[in-house]
């Protein structure tokens, strides 16, 4: 009985986002855009959230904690989504100027970035759904 109540409470706060990061390298167009597939669970209300990209090269330095290194990571791009229950959509992620510059410096090689897909609940709070690394490459 408790499991049913917990599931209902979670679904009432916002539908469940279904997402996975691709294992292959993603091609980025000349405007710094690419898409990631996102789906919303059919058994709940609408799903809302965002996708954030950040650098992977920010490691802890001498005198800096791992948490401080994570805060120092440069944001490279983002995208937002709102989906109806049961809807599946390719969400567009756009690199910002720093992301486009960093990708151009790779000269066609793969650029590994941290990606975080977050779900927004009814009160506006975000919780991570997927964290991982993806490879980006400029489309030729």
The 10s digit of each residue's pLDDT in 58-83 is: 555 566 555 555 556 789 999 999 99
The 10s digit of each residue's pLDDT in 20-73 is: 888 899 999 999 999 999 999 888 888 999 999 998 765 555 665 555 555 567
Residues in the chain, overall count: 140
Predicted confidence band at 12 (pLDDT cuts at 50, 70, 90)?
very low
The 10s digit of each residue's pLDDT in 98-127 is: 999 999 999 989 999 999 999 998 888 998
Domains of the chain, start order: 2-138 (2.60.40.2550)
Residue given tokens 């919303």 in the structure block: 40
Return the structure tokens found at 42.
Answer: 């059919």
């Amino acid at each position: 009985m408790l499991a049913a109540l917990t599931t209902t409470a979670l679904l009432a706060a916002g539908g469940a986002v279904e997402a996975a990061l691709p294992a292959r390298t993603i091609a980025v167009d000349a405007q710094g855009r690419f898409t990631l597939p996102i789906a919303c669970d059919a058994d709940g209300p609408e799903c809302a959230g965002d996708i954030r990209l950040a650098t992977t090269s920010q490691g802890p330095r001498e005198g800096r904690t791992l948490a401080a290194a994570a805060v120092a990571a440069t944001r490279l791009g983002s995208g937002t989504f709102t989906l109806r229950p049961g809807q599946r959509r390719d969400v567009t992620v756009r690199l910002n100027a720093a992301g486009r510059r960093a990708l151009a410096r790779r000269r066609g090689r793969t650029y590994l970035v941290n990606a975080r897909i977050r779900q927004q609940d009814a009160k506006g709070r975000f919780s991570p759904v997927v964290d991982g690394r993806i490879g980006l490459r400029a489309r030729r």
